Structure 1
Amino acid sequence: MSENSFLGKPFALTLPGDIRFGAGRAGEAAGLAAAAADGGGVLLVTGSSDRHAAPLRERLGELGATGTTVRVVGEPSVDVVREAVGTARAAGVTAVLAVGGGSVLDTAKAVAALVHNGDPLDHLEVVGHGRPLTGPVLPWIAVPTTAGTGSEVTRNAVLTAGRVKVSLRSPAMLARTAVVDPDLLRGLPRAPLVHGGLDALVQLVEPLVSKRANPVTDALARQGLSASLRSLPRAAAEGTDDPAVREDLSLASLLGGICLANAGLGAVHGLAGVAGGMLGAPHGALCAAFLPATLEADLVALRRAPDPVARARFDALGPLVTGDPEAGAEQAVAALGDLVRALGVPRLDDLGLVDDEVGELVEGALSASSTKANPLPLTRDEMRAAVLASR
């Protein structure tokens, strides 16, 4: 990659004020939430399992912080968020503590944003009015129990509205503290482990080639990609008994979240976001299914409209992905395709895509917010070719 790729190019970084990473640190979250509540109540948002939330709920009680629990099962929707906001308002909570996967964190983030800011449709992109948040946002503490979305360090919440996935977005929605404890991955079933790991992988690859990339996200994405490629295949084959594997996967997810929040994503996520609303398939599986063919479409576009900086970024993937210092973009794309197949990622047809939905998927992806950060615009035919090759 050219050392002058960023000459004269301004950039900004937006991060939570406090990130705490390390085995055993989840226990700190209750104290942080109680302090954030400042004498008020805490809304505890968690998933269907109480395994990781129960100790924190007990600790909240010991600290004198009234706790109200909301459980999130499945993808967060506008209606799910509305109900949770109603619960938070009725309880008069002054802080939110989220313990769970990406759906839990996104729900908590949306609730914290909306308790004093009206209805989701007032602020949602695409399907809503997209108005900025003007009222206060509740402080919230994020404790991810999976490794994939990086939602603990992003400033948007992805919600389902009908057959569409859209974002509620504001810098004010960043967590007050993100507590990332790799030990919470112990015993995670293979499917969410692999799907989350693939989501993190794509969230490291796309920012590296994004037209919004910057020197800081480059450094973080390289570190995260190395961790992901080192430990994701091991986790898929052996589970997460090895603490080094848990640490790698958690780090990849955290760094992927920082990178996507500050450098954007690309057409892979543009397609996966639209397909997720249409098919209801796991987001990480969709990202992985689209990854090889969409990167190949990017290379086709680069041959159509040469861009030396974008080409250098793609070529820089070669050594990172393959370990071969002489490898370039084509070898990187091939290696990523081999990894996706080795991990048993289903193709789009197996995930439920039918012929009549291809056009809708292509049109939605072309206008998706993630696609705007793609290294260069894809034509309708190039996007369609990526979809068809992923089937």
Structure 2
Amino acid sequence: MAMTGFEFATATRIVFGAGRLAELPEAVKALGGHKVLLVTGRDPTRAGPLREGLGRLGLSSETFTVEGEPTVERVREGTAAALAARCDAVVAFGGGSALDAGKAIAALAANGGDPLDYLEVVGRGQALTKPSLPLVAIPTTAGTGSEVTRNAVLGVKDAQVKASLRSPLMLPRMALVDPELLTGVPPAVLASSGLDALSQLLEPFLSARANPLTDALAREGMVRSARSLRRAVLEGPDAASREDLALASLFGGLCLANAGLGAVHGFAAPVGGMFEAPHGAVCAALLPATLEVNLRALRSRAPAHPALPRFQEVAVLLTGRAGARAEDGISWVKELCLALGVPGLGRYGLTEADVPRLVTRAKAASSMKANPLPLTDEELTEIAVRSR
């Protein structure tokens, strides 16, 4: 793929490894934190050891929970809590929802204003001008890669959409990825988050903005996901598969933040706004049809496109077979989704009558801009219908 140059941005520091969670208190202290807002998922008891560790170093903490996907309203409440407690650092501990909420709260606590002042698409889109409060992001699932991205996806209930609050100033000061945190994650969560991670490796690799650095990470991540995801979900994750899934997720976050995504995530944003649906499960439902439609569109309208040979490379990486064809890779993804019991979008309420509105919203999503080529309304409609 021809390159004219690229940029690569990520968290100031990435710490990876089993047992590294124990390093958090010292890391927060080194960042100058004294009063910490600890943003967690729906089960704050999992963060008990973190609170105790912070306390042993004389650091106090306030806990703020995020149940379900983060919304503008919940981020407003979290920001108010951080300001009321005079927090000077944020630790986000949980799945993508907790991490995105933590990033948004850290940004708003430092910059002031309302989320809608800065939100894309449905907000005023103003730029953040001040660095976020020092933030440590700790994923407890292996899917979103949010610990190394510069945006937070928030639900806006009134508009029935999800939109991003985005700025380089939102990058965490530290991403702490401990694969041991995947112990005990339910199989359904492992499946949906793992397929989200896989889509965040595939889409940047096929993206119109792919670059050599993200390509290297995507290739390595796809191999790790391919050899471990099915086994981890169906048999339970051992130490090796936990490490593979955690790295695949981390690499996916690095890739999407620096090479963009595509139609899978272009659809996922409006689906998440229109229905109560977990992001990872939505991406999993959309992935097979999106790959198939993109491949056909490239062959018919852009046969010299540099993304076309990449479909074959994806097939080789996923199947492990040197002679694999592009269709073999898509078949592999379909079989994986079937084996892992991925439901269609109809499970979350999508009907045929919703499809035109969904297509209109997907076309306006920022992720759609990096798709290998623009898809027609008919092609987008086919993806939506087949993903039901």
> Same fold, TM exceeding 0.5?
yes
* SS, match of residue 254 in structure 1: helix
Q: Which residue of 2 aligns with 1:141?
A: 136
Deviation at 1:286, TM superposition (A): 1.1
How many aligned positions are there? Answer: 384
| One-letter amino acid of the counterpart of residue 133, structure 2 | L
Does residue 233 (structure 1) correspond to residue 241 (structure 2)? The answer is: no
> Contact 1:43–1:96 (CA<8 Å) still a contact in 2?
yes
Deviation at 1:327, TM superposition (A): 1.7
Q: Which residue of 2 aligns with 1:84?
A: 78
Mapping for residues 161-200 of structure 1, pairs under 5 Å: 161-162=156-157, 163-200=160-197
> Contact 2:44–2:63 (CA<8 Å) still a contact in 1?
no
| One-letter amino acid of the counterpart of residue 107, structure 2 | A
Whole-angstrom distance in 1 between the partners of 2:239 and 2:110: 41
Q: Structure 2 unaligned runs (5+)?
A: none
Q: Structure 1 unaligned runs (5+)?
A: none
* SS, match of residue 307 in structure 2: helix
2:12 to 14, 17, 30: 17
Whole-angstrom distance in 2 between the partners of 1:106 and 1:136: 16
Whole-angstrom distance in 2 between the partners of 1:188 and 1:51: 15
> Contact 1:29–1:143 (CA<8 Å) still a contact in 2?
no
Does residue 339 (structure 1) correspond to residue 333 (structure 2)? The answer is: no
1:276 to 272, 276, 279: 272
* SS, match of residue 93 in structure 1: coil
Q: Which residue of 2 aligns with 1:224?
A: 221
1:285 to 274, 278, 281: 281
Alpha-carbon RMSD: 1.2
Whole-angstrom distance in 1 between the partners of 2:276 and 2:348: 9
Whole-angstrom distance in 2 between the partners of 1:222 and 1:266: 17
Deviation at 1:51, TM superposition (A): 4.1
Mapping for residues 239-278 of structure 1, pairs under 5 Å: 239-240=236-237, 242-278=238-274
Q: Which residue of 2 aligns with 1:29?
A: 24
Deviation at 1:72, TM superposition (A): 1.0
| One-letter amino acid of the counterpart of residue 116, structure 1 | A
> Contact 2:152–2:164 (CA<8 Å) still a contact in 1?
yes
* SS, match of residue 37 in structure 1: coil
* SS, match of residue 373 in structure 2: coil
| One-letter amino acid of the counterpart of residue 118, structure 2 | H
Superposition misfits of 4+ residues, deviation over 3 angstroms: none
Deviation at 1:121, TM superposition (A): 0.4
Q: Which residue of 2 aligns with 1:321?
A: 318
Q: Deviations over 1:291-328 (max 9, x none)?
A: 11111111221133213312122222121122221222
Does residue 386 (structure 1) correspond to residue 383 (structure 2)? The answer is: yes
Deviation at 1:387, TM superposition (A): 1.1
1:94 to 67, 88, 92: 88
> Contact 2:207–2:262 (CA<8 Å) still a contact in 1?
yes
Whole-angstrom distance in 2 between the partners of 1:186 and 1:144: 12
| One-letter amino acid of the counterpart of residue 313, structure 1 | R
Whole-angstrom distance in 2 between the partners of 1:170 and 1:61: 32
2:211 to 211, 214, 220: 214
TM-score if structure 2 supplies the norm length?
Answer: 0.96
1:373 to 350, 353, 370: 370
Whole-angstrom distance in 1 between the partners of 2:130 and 2:8: 23
Moved more, 324-333 or 167-176: 324-333
Whole-angstrom distance in 2 between the partners of 1:284 and 1:116: 30
Q: Which residue of 2 aligns with 1:296?
A: 292
Q: Deviations over 1:176-213 (max 9, x none)?
A: 01110000110111111111111101101111100111
